[in-house]
């Protein structure tokens, strides 16, 4: 796991072991290339003693509730501010911003949630795998915002197929152009309340659909998935505790084991990549320099090709810090676009209502995925004054009950009796808006502040603007209307006011900073995720995104990574790289 001979030259160095790093490792290892994965966090085996999914609520520290020590010692302050109901299983796989500081303007706080361990945030993601549609890739060119995508849906579609077949996606064939169908296993079932609302929307709209989410949780494991030790999802919804069954897709349960089987993979953990090293004579990256997380000693690794998969903002940080005579503003940054067009999905409006008439219906198990209303406002129309649009992450699977988290009041027979009483269902909807790619939403290196390893801190300055404010106003009106159409009662819709701050980053879908585009003067990457300036340097994590659409982005990251790795491997075989 930790090769001592770092003088060895590898075919490929992959920075990061999360969603994209794991995929790059699998693809290059299976193609016969000597591959090194560098992870800045500690090693984490699968299954791990750090997983708590096999513990009963009463066996868990503080019954699973986060200890007050987080406040007393000033830890996890940003997460505590935005997500006040922290639990121990939630913070277990996330870093503390006190230990890993960054900065932002006081009036525009940005929430940067990171996972530094082998597997990264593939251990904690929401597992909602949604394809982008044709309009998502065409939007920049059509309305003039951001850098036009150099690829379209047809370029990515076969790689969506490829990725879905391997990771396992439980979903329904919905037949929607806005959200193309893929390679699916048996879907999860909607609750009675969700089915009711879905039916009402279908009766009243041609373009608004409530569908069950598309989950990277196995319902019908294939032989390939079983050989990796992955099993069927047990519908416990303990996913963020770590999954001993390997039922949900993660680097640790799927891509890294597949790569290890080839014998071509080396992994070094506790290795903080500070720079991509550049060889002026060849015009290529020669490898990377790392700082040992424990000893703080520097060392270098050499390779023919470098893939940055460190997550969007960490990859931006590495690029900006990799300065040389040829790239005084950071490697591959002749365009000046590195760090710009930072994006995230945002929640500006929410809705909740009672769904009447279903009090005698109950749910079985705990489905591991929400329901979803895809974007129906791609094109500007006469009734709105903004571009792009939004979808809604929704759910109506939970009736009020005593629960098992240790947070509910009561004990004994009274609680049991209450659990058997008929109660109403409640439907919840959270707007997920598309943030336009603004050049002035950017990340830079802080001029004076460094972390404890001597690496400059990242300074993030990003905010929503007038277009997103208008979206929020309309999204609140839309969900109010849809809940009324569905016959709901006690409807409560909330929205952010025109001057109220909307947090960016808290959806954990940060994107941009090294966008793709055909023009090297305004973009960082070409259509193969290859930097325009340095031919053997590729970036396939969220930094590569030229827009953010409304769908959860991880499936697109994985498809782009597999596609880029295939392209790079062919060039390596030819001797071009």
Give the model's pLDDT for residue 402.
Answer: 41
485: pLDDT strictly greater than 90: yes
CA 180, CA 412: separation in Å to the nearest integer? 48
Mean pLDDT computed over 309-315: 98
Average model confidence (pLDDT) for the chain? 92
Residues 495-510: what's their mean pLDDT? 89
| Range with the poorest average pLDDT among 46-50, 115-119, 540-544 | 46-50
User: In this model, does residue 34 exceed pLDDT 70?
Assistant: yes
User: Do the beta carbons of residue 217 and residue 243 sit within 8 Å?
Assistant: no
What is the distance, to the nearest Å, from the Cα of residue 311 to the centroid of all Cα atoms in its chain? 9
Nearest to 342, CA basis, from 417, 458, 437, 444: 437
Question: Which helix or strand (DSSP H or E) is residue 23 part of?
Answer: helix 19-30
pLDDT of the residue at 56: 84
Q: Please check whether residue 53 is in contact with residue 236, taking contact to mean a CB–CB distance below 8 angstroms.
A: yes
404 — pLDDT class (breaks 50, 70, 90): very low
Residue at token pair 């070409």: 526
28-38: average pLDDT: 98
What pLDDT is attached to residue 463? 95
Give me the residue spans of the domains in the chain.
53-89
Mean pLDDT of 434-439: 98
Length of the chain: 577
- Bond prior to 47 in cis (omega within 30° of 0): yes
Rounded distance, CA 285 to CA 35, Å?
16
Q: Which two tokens stand for residue 390?
A: 């939004």
Q: Which residues of 278-304 are buried (b: 16+ CB within 10 A; e: fewer)?
A: beeeeebbbbbbbbebeeeeeeebbbb
3-state secondary structure 81-134: HHCCCCEHHHHCCCCCCCCCCCECCCCCCECCCCCCCCCHHHHCCCCECCCCCH
Strands 35-38 and 9-15: what pairing?
parallel
pLDDT by residue (tens digit) across 453-469?
999 999 999 999 999 99
What is the side-by-side order of every strand in the sheet holding 371-373?
211-212, 371-373, 390-395, 425-433, 349-355, 489-495
Radius of gyration of the chain (CA): 23
Place of tokens 């943030």: 435
Alpha-carbon distance of 477 to 473, in angstroms, equals 7
Nearest partner of 363 among 494, 206, 237, judged by Cα: 237
Compute φ and ψ for 518, nearest 5 degrees: -80, -30
pLDDT of res. 240? 87
Given this model, what pLDDT does residue 69 score? 52
Check residue 399 and give its pLDDT: 58
Residue 409 is predicted with a pLDDT of 56
Q: Is the pLDDT of residue 379 over 80?
A: no
The CA-based diameter of the chain, rounded to the nearest angstrom, is: 78
Tell me what pLDDT residue 63 has: 73
Instruction: Provide the angle, in degrees to the nearest 10, between the axes of the packed helices 153-167 and 134-143.
Output: 140
How high is the pLDDT of residue 72?
58
Query: Comparing C-alpha atoms, which of 316, 550, 534 is closest to residue 444?
Result: 316
Of the pLDDT bands very low, low, confident and very high (cuts 50, 70, 90), residue 378 is: confident
Q: What mean pLDDT is predicted for residues 517-523? A: 98
Residue 113 has, within 13 A of its CA and on its CB side, a CA count of 24
Least-confidence region, from 6-10, 199-203, 247-251, 441-445: 6-10
Contacts of 184 (CB under 8 A, 6+ apart): 164, 169, 170, 171, 172, 173, 214
Q: What is the pLDDT of residue 364?
A: 75
Task: Give the pLDDT of residue 403.
Answer: 46
pLDDT band at 498 (very low <50, low <70, confident <90, very high): confident
Q: What is the mean pLDDT of residues 488-514?
A: 92
Q: Choose the weakest-confidence range: 181-190, 320-329, 462-471, 498-507.
A: 498-507
Q: Give dist(CA 99, CA 121) in Å, integer.
A: 18
Cα–Cα dist 290/369, whole Å: 38
pLDDT-derived band at 383, boundaries 50, 70, 90: confident
How far is residue 216's CA from residue 249's CA, in Å, rounded to a whole number? 6
pLDDT for residue 436 is more than 60: yes
Q: Is the pLDDT of residue 481 over 80?
A: yes
**Among 219, 230, 236, which Cα is nearest to 252's?**
230
Q: Encoding tokens for residue 532?
A: 């325009």
- Residue 422: pLDDT band with limits 50, 70, 90: confident
Answer whether 352's CB lies under 8 Å from 393's CB.
no
Q: Which residue has the tokens 């690496």?
A: 455
| 247 touches 233 (CB < 8 A) | yes
State the pLDDT confidence band at 416, using cuts at 50, 70 and 90: confident
Return the percentage of the chain with pLDDT > 90, whole number: 80
Per-residue confidence (pLDDT) for residue 497, from 0 to 100? 82
Q: Which of 45-54, 68-77, 420-429, 503-512 has the lowest mean pLDDT?
A: 68-77
């Amino acid at each position: 796991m930790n090769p001592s001979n770092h003088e060895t030259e590898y075919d490929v160095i992959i920075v990061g072991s999360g969603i994209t790093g794991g995929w790059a490792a699998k693809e290059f290892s299976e193609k016969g290339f000597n591959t090194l994965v560098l992870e800045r966090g500690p090693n984490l085996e699968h299954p791990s003693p750090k997983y708590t999914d096999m513990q009963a609520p009463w066996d868990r520290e503080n019954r699973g509730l986060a200890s007050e020590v987080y406040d007393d010692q000033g830890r996890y302050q940003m997460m505590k501010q935005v997500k006040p109901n922290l639990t121990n299983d939630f913070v277990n796989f996330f870093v503390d911003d006190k230990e890993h500081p960054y900065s932002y303007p006081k009036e525009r706080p940005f929430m940067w949630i990171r996972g530094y361990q082998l597997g990264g945030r593939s251990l904690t993601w929401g597992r909602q795998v949604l394809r982008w549609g044709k309009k998502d890739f065409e939007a920049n060119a059509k309305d003039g915002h951001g850098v036009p995508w150099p690829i379209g849906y047809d370029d990515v579609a076969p790689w969506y197929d490829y990725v879905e077949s391997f990771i396992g996606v439980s979903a329904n064939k919905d037949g929607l152009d806005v959200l193309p169908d893929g390679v699916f296993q048996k879907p999860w079932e909607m609750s009675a309340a969700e089915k009711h609302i879905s039916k009402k929307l279908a009766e009243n709209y041609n373009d608004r659909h409530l569908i069950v989410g598309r989950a990277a949780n196995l319902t019908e494991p294939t032989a390939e998935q079983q050989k990796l030790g992955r099993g069927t999802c047990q519908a416990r919804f303990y996913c963020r505790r770590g999954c001993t069954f390997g039922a949900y897709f993660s680097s640790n349960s799927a891509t890294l084991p597949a790569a290890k089987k080839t014998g071509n993979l080396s992994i070094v953990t506790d290795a903080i990549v500070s720079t991509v090293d550049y060889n002026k004579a060849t015009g290529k990256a020669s490898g990377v320099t790392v700082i040992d997380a424990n000893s703080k000693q520097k060392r270098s690794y050499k390779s023919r090709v470098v893939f940055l998969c460190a997550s969007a903002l960490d990859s931006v940080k590495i690029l900006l810090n990799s300065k040389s005579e040829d790239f005084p503003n950071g490697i591959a940054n002749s365009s000046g676009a590195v760090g710009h067009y930072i994006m995230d999905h945002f929640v500006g409006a929410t809705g909740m209502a009672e769904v009447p008439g279903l009090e005698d219906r109950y749910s079985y198990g705990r489905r591991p995925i929400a329901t979803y209303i895809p974007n129906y406002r791609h094109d500007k129309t006469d009734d709105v004054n903004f571009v792009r649009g939004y979808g809604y992450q929704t759910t109506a699977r939970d009736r009020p009950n005593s629960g098992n988290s240790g947070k509910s009041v009561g004990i004994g027979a009274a609680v049991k009796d209450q659990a058997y009483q008929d109660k109403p269902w409640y439907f919840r909807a959270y707007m997920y808006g598309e943030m336009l790619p603004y050049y002035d939403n950017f990340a830079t290196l802080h001029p004076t502040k460094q972390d404890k390893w001597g690496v400059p801190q990242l300074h993030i300055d990003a905010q929503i603007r007038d277009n997103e404010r208008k979206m929020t106003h309309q999204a609140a009106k839309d969900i109010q209307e849809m809940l009324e159409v569905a016959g709901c009662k006690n409807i409560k819709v909330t929205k952010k006011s025109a001057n109220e701050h909307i947090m960016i980053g808290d959806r954990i879908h940060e994107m941009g900073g090294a966008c793709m585009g055909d023009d090297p003067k305004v973009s960082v990457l070409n259509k193969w995720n290859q930097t325009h300036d340095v031919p053997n340097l590729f970036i396939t994590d969220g930094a590569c995104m030229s827009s953010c659409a409304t769908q959860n982005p991880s499936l697109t990251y994985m498809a782009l990574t597999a596609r880029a790795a295939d392209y790079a491997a062919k060039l390596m075989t030819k001797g071009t790289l």
